[in-house]
Structure 1
Amino acid sequence: MFRSGSADGGDELLQRLGALTARARELAEMQRSRVELAVALQHGMLPRDLPRPPGVRIAVGYMPANHGLNVGGDWYDAFPMSDGRIGISIGDVQGHNAQAAAFMGQVRVALRALASVTEDPGRLLGRTNDLLISLNADLFATCTFLRLDPATGVLECARAGHIPHIWATADGRSGIDDGEVGPPLGVMRGAEYPVACHRLTVGGVLVLVTDGVVEGPSLHIDDGLGQVRRLAEITAGASLGIDALVGGVMKLADTVGHEDDAAVLVIGHDVGVPWYPAPKLPPTPGGSSRGPGRTPSSGRSGPPGV
């Protein structure tokens, strides 16, 4: 003889399933709201306008990691400094959540604030690093900071654990800057950040990216940097313009096979706008494809003539 369940038992099961479904919907909606808030926080902290001094163009591309639960902390920034030069930064905060997005804002604001009292890129990263450590933050960030003199095209650069940048010239030369780099920001108090010098030439480009552009399950970082280098070569050699280069780099970011943030910032010289007389800098080693050499006396890199 078989027993059938009671109608009351079936109703109770349906009620439980209904309650679980409602709870799942509530949690999903809460998470969606958190992601939307973090993404809005990201976009709100990125600059709306970029400086455009005579002779220089800056173009950017940005793709947030807003798939599923991922919300990253990549950023870019460019702003006028008190000495008439342009401060430029790009970076990547550890982690993929709202905390990372908020920490990104702290780093970006710290760089802007300290740039008013510390213009040298190496010292600026050092002070920013010590400030972040004093805040007892649990996160760290990689960063590249540049100081560009729009009157001469001279770029002074310091890196805090960030991936190399890429340069290319209109006459077909290009390279990946593998110079000295300091530790990420927020890791080691008293860290030092070496400064390298470059010079942007007519038709040349300098490309800054975050690792979400060039590294992932489908692309090794060396291959990714090599592809960006080839895109920069083509753009500079054919005078295609930096907006086209940004578009090509962002298409590359779609192929890396992950859901990380992706940011790119390209600096170029407006063809037809001459520089003012530039100061003498150490000569570029002949035929180098890896960027500038380092002068023993100053510890700084000579310009590749980007």
Structure 2
Amino acid sequence: MAGGEERAGGKRPPRADPLARLNAELGRIEAQLRALTEAKDRVQGLLEAVVAITREVELPAVLHRIVTTAMDLVGARYGALGVLDESGERLAQFNAVGLAGQDREALAEVGFPRGRGVLGYLIHHPRPLRVDDIASHPASVGFPPGHPRMRTLLGVAISVRGEIYGDLYLSERRDGQPFDADDENIVAALASAAGIAIENVRLLDQVRTGSEQFQRRLLPALPDLRPFDAAAFYRPAAEPHHLGGDWYDAILLPDGAVAAVIGDVVGHDLDAAAAMASTRHMLRALLFTLRTPPSAVLSQLDRTLEAITDNPVTTTGLARIEPDGAAWRLLWSSAGHIPPLLITPDGRTEHLFAEPGLPLNVDTGQPRPDHTHPLPPDTTVVFYTDGLIEHPDRPIDETLSELGRVATAHASLPLPDFVQALADHNPSDGHDDMALLALRTPSRSRTGPERRG
């Protein structure tokens, strides 16, 4: 039988078009590759989101970042993170993202959600929740006045150290589709990492608080320095784990003068804090035993530190405010420290630039000069560390000038308020801790009768 003839009893079965089969197979492979690419992109987005969250060191920033990254991962229009109260039954905080200004204002009038309805359902059933129609869910109680209408919901609980911390809510995919299983999985993975990030930042807060308390306990409470007014201020750096070496001190000396000290030990750790404490105590002991100018006291301190410690480099300013007729005189010496700031009774400012001398623990053989300046009644002298003025993007002369302007603007305030104003409006970027010590000479009416001697 010829090859092209039909078989007996029937027709030859049709042959599939090879090109059609190839196109179908290519289409299937393309769909798989697209799905793999989307999965890879989503996983990469998750990893980048986790990194972004863990870089935050303040709790409000962490919570906000969790919501925004979850919204980005699934393309949600709205997102929120509700933090439970101590009872675990209600929401104590509600961090919402995506609301327009008008919607946010309307909701502010009725208050943020406390955990009723579908939100409350997730609180009491902390398993991933996907809802395609919120209004039809058995637990739904409707939306408060002014709330934008939302149809879909994806909710995932966030646990910290095995306990439910809060719930992450997402609503309304931008493509109009309900949330799917892939969305649920990626957000659940993010919630797991978010719990770790929240725990880390809470631990950082504890470290930061403990460091600040430790630092403050190393600093003295100012004694009674009458007839002078005196005020001091200390603020730690913004970075966590930061222990500073900044300190201040002021004491009334037996001869009626007042000694003022400001200092900054190089470093931001326990060694710097310990060096600060030992240096401050040594200097206070020397001030009570030596009747010499500040330069000689600093030189003796430097020799003592070299002989019995391995303290790091330290900058220090030491001053005496002593009687000078009907007024006062400032006598000071610097061990590599920034100059004091003088504010006259009429509010003018002057930085007392003078030869700074070498810092402590550098070279004990170098001489240290003394400097003097008259102090009329009602004159304020401010001693401070570089954390008040340092900014990486601004030259030092610019920040010093700005500090002078801030001092002039607040010169009429009582001294505690004046020091607070300098700290609040300083030109630095906050990367370093700061210490301030301000002394104000008595007014002319008080100079004579209240002077101690």
Same fold (TM over 0.5): yes
Q: 2:295 maps to which residue?
A: 122
Q: CA deviation at 1:276?
A: 3.8
Q: CA deviation at 1:33?
A: 6.9
Q: 1:133 maps to which residue?
A: 306
- Give the alignment partner of residue 259 of structure 1, picking from 419, 423, 431: 431
Q: Which amino acid aligns with 1:257?
A: D
TM-score where L is the length of structure 1: 0.73
Q: CA deviation at 1:168?
A: 2.1
Alignment map for 1:262-273 (pairs within 5 Å) = 262-271=434-443, 273=445
- Paired with 1:40 and 1:173, the residues of 2 have a C-alpha distance of 36
Aligned pair 1:229/2:401, yes or no? Answer: no
The question of whether the paired residues in 2 share the 8 Å contact of 1:129 and 1:191 is answered with no
Indicate how the Cα distance of structure 1 residues 186 and 28 shifts in structure 2: closer, same or farther if over 3 A, else same.
Answer: farther
Aligned pair 1:89/2:89, yes or no? Answer: no
Alignment map for 1:1-306 (pairs within 5 Å) = 38-54=211-227, 56-65=228-237, 67-119=239-291, 120-149=293-322, 152-171=327-346, 173-236=348-411, 239-253=412-426, 255-271=427-443, 273-276=445-448
Q: Aligned with 1:125: secondary structure?
A: helix
Deviations for 1:92-141, whole angstroms, at most 9, x for unmatched residues? 11011111011000110011011122232110110111111112414111
Q: CA deviation at 1:66?
A: 6.0
Q: Aligned with 1:77: secondary structure?
A: strand
Q: CA deviation at 1:89?
A: 0.2
- Paired with 1:57 and 1:193, the residues of 2 have a C-alpha distance of 29
The question of whether the paired residues in 1 share the 8 Å contact of 2:234 and 2:435 is answered with yes
Which of the pair is proportionally richer in helix? Answer: 2
The question of whether the paired residues in 2 share the 8 Å contact of 1:93 and 1:100 is answered with yes
Deviations for 1:137-184, whole angstroms, at most 9, x for unmatched residues? 141110111112267422211110001111121245431111112111
- Paired with 1:252 and 1:222, the residues of 2 have a C-alpha distance of 17
- Paired with 1:136 and 1:24, the residues of 2 have a C-alpha distance of 41
Higher relative contact order (CA 8 A, sep 6+): 1
- Paired with 1:191 and 1:32, the residues of 2 have a C-alpha distance of 44
Q: Which amino acid aligns with 1:250?
A: A
Deviations for 1:215-268, whole angstroms, at most 9, x for unmatched residues? 1224432122112222333344xx333233212210134x52242111111111
Indicate how the Cα distance of structure 1 residues 29 and 145 shifts in structure 2: closer, same or farther if over 3 A, else same.
Answer: same
Identity of aligned residues (%): 31
The question of whether the paired residues in 1 share the 8 Å contact of 2:275 and 2:312 is answered with yes
Q: Which amino acid aligns with 1:96?
A: H
Q: CA deviation at 1:86?
A: 1.4
- Paired with 2:409 and 2:356, the residues of 1 have a C-alpha distance of 28
Q: Which amino acid aligns with 1:71?
A: L
Q: CA deviation at 1:29?
A: 9.1
- Paired with 1:77 and 1:57, the residues of 2 have a C-alpha distance of 14
- Paired with 1:185 and 1:36, the residues of 2 have a C-alpha distance of 30
Indicate how the Cα distance of structure 1 residues 99 and 271 shifts in structure 2: closer, same or farther if over 3 A, else same.
Answer: same
Gaps of 5+ in 1: 1-22, 278-306
